[in-house]
Structure 1
Amino acid sequence: MSTLAGRILPHPILTLFLTVVWILLQNDFSAGMAVFGLILGIIIPAVTAAWWPDRPRGIKLGKFILYFFLVVWDIIVANVQVAWIVLTRPNSKLRPCWVVVPLELRTPEAIAILAGTITLTPGTVTADLSSEGHSLLVHALDAESPDEVRDQIKDRYERRLKEIFA
């Protein structure tokens, strides 16, 4: 990418994402809204580029799209599971637990996506990131075993994020 193009579009994926989100938030597609969304998509990343000096390069967009759909599916399934738990199980039968998830991820963007994924999935919430950034503290609403929760997070989400941000 040339220097001029890099300055105009320092985060092309973020530009596209912001443009699409703006159009969706307007709930009305028009050329004017698309152009304004594109303007926002160019200005916001350009203004914030100074705070992204070590942004990841070479993100695998295809794998990221698959990850997105996996997370959406998991959110839908978890909503049904949590609703079932809340409606059918008394509080005394819940098995909440705290889980420490050691991280192999090192890029802040990948860790933030993992923490957000965990929090967006009903029944779990990311409560803390260790000071060195090597583990997440996660609360699960109902789990048979903390190890099972940890292993599922590492296999289902972290492994895929390592491939995306490799």
Structure 2
Amino acid sequence: MNRMFLANILLAIAWAAMSGAFSLPNLIFGFLIGMVSMFIIREQMGTLSHLQRARRVLSLFLLFLVELVKSATRVALLALKPNLDDLKPGFFAYELNTDNDGEISLLAGLITLTPGTLSVDVSDDKKYLYIHAVTIDDLDAMRADIANGFEKKIMEAFR
């Protein structure tokens, strides 16, 4: 759990203790007061506010939805072609920019959930993610899409 979120929960409990009412509305009010307080002193603490982090996580989620629709459309069009000779399936290694287990797992999951790609393995040294794609037209473009898309958004959201 994020330590800032935990601190905010503790501030909400402290508010409820000081006000003498442990009702849900009062705890929520205390949580909101804690959010505002931490937002005001965020620069001294050197962390993102909950709202900034939430915005970045939402941005990652929206990117996933866009990529999901684009890749599902591409795979559907490929499946409708009468001649599947145009397919160039294959495996490739993607060089990771992160070595954080959680970020790697999330990246692998998002790639696997996107139609037409499947995360297969991670190298022992956590430097490469091995991916299978239904068709590989431009390998450099695929790697750039992952680096500038999912991986970048994951690192922005969770660091």
- Among 144, 147, 156, which residue is 1:151 paired with? 144
Instruction: For 1:79 and 1:164, locate their aligned partners in 2 and report how far apart those are by CA, in whole Å.
Output: 25
- Contact 1:98/1:137 (<8 A) preserved: yes
**Aligned position for 2:107:** 114
TM alignment of 1:74-113, pairs within 5 A = 74-88=67-81, 90-113=83-106
Aligned partners of 2:122 and 2:130 also within 8 Å: yes
Contact 1:99–1:149 at 8 Å: present in 2 too? no
Which ranges in structure 2 are unaligned for 5 or more consecutive residues?
Answer: 1-5, 11-46
Q: State the number of aligned residues.
A: 117
Structure 2 Cα separation of the partners of residues 134 and 151 of structure 1: 16
CA distance in 2, matches of 1:75, 1:69: 10
In 2, Cα distance between the equivalents of 1:124 and 1:99?
11
AA aligned to 2:151 is E
Q: Secondary structure at the match of 2:137?
A: coil
Verify the 8 A CA contact 1:100 1:136 in the aligned structure 2: yes
Structure 1 residue runs without a partner (length 5+): 6-56
Q: TM-score, normalised by structure 1?
A: 0.62
Cα distance in 1, alignment partners of residues 132 and 57 from structure 2: 25
**1:80/1:63 Cα in 2 relative to 1: closer, same or farther (>3 Å)?**
same
Work out which of the two has the higher radius of gyration on C-alpha atoms and give 1 or 2: 2
Question: How far apart are the structure 2 equivalents of 1:142 and 1:101?
Answer: 15
Asked if the contact 1:99/1:147 (under 8 Å) is kept, the reply is no
- Asked if 1:165 corresponds to 2:154, the answer is no
Partner amino acid for 2:148? Answer: D
Q: String of CA shifts for 1:118-153, please: whole Å, max 9, x gaps.
A: 001101110111112121001111121222211111
- Distance in 1 (CA, whole Å) between partners of 2:63 and 2:140 is 22
User: Per-residue deviation at 1:64?
Assistant: 0.8
Runs of 4+ in 1 over 4 A off after TM superposition: none
Is residue 129 from structure 1 mapped to residue 122 from structure 2 by the alignment? yes
Please give the secondary structure, in 1, of the residue aligned with 2:130: strand
Query: Aligned equivalents of 2:118 and 2:82: distance in 1?
Result: 20
